[in-house]
Copies of this chain bind each other. A is one copy, B any other.
Amino acid sequence: MRRVSPDLQDLVKDLAVPTSSKIVLVVIDGLGGLPGDEGSTELEKAATPDLDTLARESICGMIDPIARGVTPGSGPAHLALFGYNPLEFQVGRGALAAAGIGFNLELDDVAARINFVTVDEEGKVADRRAGRISTETNKELCRLLNGMQLEGTQLFVRAVKEHRAVVVLRGRGLSDALSDSDPQKTGVAPIEVKALSPEANKTARIVNGFIQQAREILSGHYPANMILLRGFAKSPRLPSFLEIYRLRSAAIAAYPMYRGIAKLMGMDILVTGETVEEEFKTLRENFDKYDFFFLHIKGADSAGEDGDFKRKVKVIEEVDRNIPTLRHLAPEAIAVTGDHSTPSVLKVHSWHSVPFLLRSAWCRPDKVDKFSEEACLRQGGLGRFPAVEVMPLLLAHALKLTKYGA
Contacts and interface: CB of A to CB of B under 8 A. Distances in A.
Interface stretch (A48-56, A203-211, A382-390): A382-390
Given A69-B389, A404-B70, A87 B346 contact: no
Given A8-B67, A70-B396, A365-B35, A231 B378 contact: no
Contacts of A367: 374, 378
A357 to B, nearest CB: 15
A71 B401 contact: yes
Contacts of A86: 404-405
* Residue from the set A73, A86, A87 with the largest chain B CB neighbour count within 10 Å: A87
A62 to B, nearest CB: 8
Contacts of A15: 70
A351 interface: yes
A231 B93 contact: no
Contacts of A395: 69
A5 interface: yes
Given A69-B389, A70-B396, A1 B406 contact: no
A366 B373 CA distance: 10
A379 B383 CA distance: 12
Nearest to A97: B406
Interface in A224-244: 231, 233-238
Contacts of A91: 1, 405-406
Given A1-B236, A377-B381, A392-B67, A349 B76 contact: no
B389 A67 contact: yes
A74 interface: yes
Given A34-B364, A231-B406, A364-B352, A396 B3 contact: no
A222 interface: no
B403 A71 contact: yes
A27 interface: no
Contacts of A349: 403
A328 to B, nearest CB: 24
A352 B75 CA distance: 30
A3 B68 CA distance: 21
A122 interface: no
A325 interface: no
Contact of A11 (B87, B95, B373, B384): B87
A73 B404 contact: yes
Given A377-B366, A406-B75, A69 B392 contact: yes
A301 to B, nearest CB: 13
A402 interface: yes
* Residue from the set A351, A362, A383, A406 with the largest chain B CB neighbour count within 10 Å: A406
Interface of A: 1-6, 8, 11-12, 15, 34-35, 41, 66-77, 85-93, 95-97, 231, 233-238, 343, 346, 348-353, 362, 364-367, 373-374, 377-379, 381-385, 389, 391-397, 401-406
8 contacts: A4-B88, A12-B69, A12-B70, A15-B70, A35-B364, A69-B401, A70-B392, A366-B378
